């Protein structure tokens, strides 16, 4: 039996790590304006590497399937990861 494989890349297009959304949102809200975009990107990468992956298709899925307590814990984890990453990156630049 011959099986034709679909292009999985097309199926994967809408999938993303929800923590990416939170990290970039919180960095924009809470980081000083005088930090350049390369430094912010480094902070985001390091913070994301400290967090688990939470893959979803639509951001609304997280609101629907997550409890308030889980959402608060995720936000706190992101806040801590960003703080640690920022401290590390800024120390490396000095």
Cα–Cα distance for residue pair 93/4, rounded to 1 Å: 51
Among residues 54, 49, 86, 91, the alpha carbon closest in space to that of 71 is found at 54
- Percent of the chain, pLDDT > 90? 52
Tell me the per-residue pLDDT of 52-79, one tens digit each, with 9 for 90 and over.
999 888 888 777 788 889 999 999 999 9
Give the pLDDT of residue 35: 84
- Write out residues in the chain with pLDDT < 70, as ranges: 1-13
Please state the domain extents for the chain.
8-93
Cα–Cα distance for residue pair 67/47, rounded to 1 Å: 23
Q: How many CA atoms lie within 13 A of 34 on its CB side?
A: 1
């Amino acid at each position: 039996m011959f099986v034709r494989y679909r292009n999985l890349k097309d199926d994967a297009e809408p999938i993303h790590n929800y923590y990416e959304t939170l990290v970039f949102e919180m960095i924009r809200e809470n980081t000083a304006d005088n930090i350049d975009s390369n430094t912010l990107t480094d902070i985001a990468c390091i913070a994301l590497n400290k967090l688990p992956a939470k893959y979803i298709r639509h951001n609304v899925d997280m609101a629907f399937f997550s409890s308030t307590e889980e959402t608060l814990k995720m936000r706190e984890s992101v806040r801590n990861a960003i703080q640690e990453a920022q401290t590390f990156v800024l120390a490396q630049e000095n």
